[in-house]
Amino acid sequence: MGILDNKKIIIMGVANKSSLAFGCMQAILNQGGQVILTYQNDRMKRSLDRFVDESVLKVECDVSTPENIQIAFKKIVDKVGKVDGIVHAIAYAEKSDLANKLTDSTLESFTTAQNISVYSFIATAKYGYDIMNNGGSIVTLSYMGSERAIPNYNIMGVAKAGLESSVRYLARDLAENNIRVNAISAGAIKTLAVTGVKNHNGLIQMSDERTVDGVGVTIEEVGNTAAFLLSPIASGVVGDIIYVDKGTHLI
pLDDT tens-digit map of 117-167: 999 999 999 999 999 999 999 999 999 999 999 888 899 999 999 999 999
What are the structural domains, with CATH classification, of the chain? 8-245 (3.40.50.720)
What is the arithmetic mean of pLDDT over 60-65? 97
Q: What's the residue count for the chain?
A: 251
Whole-angstrom Cα distance, residue 169 to residue 183? 12
| 62 is an annotated ligand-binding site residue | yes
Asked if 10 and 86 touch (Cβ cutoff 8 Å), the reply is yes
Q: 36 among the known binding-site residues?
A: no
Residues carrying an active site annotation: 143, 153
User: What CA–CA distance (Å, rounded) separates 190 from 65?
Assistant: 28
The crossing angle, in degrees rounded to 10, of helices 67-80 and 120-128 is 40
Does the annotation list 31 as a binding residue? no
Q: pTM of the prediction?
A: 0.93
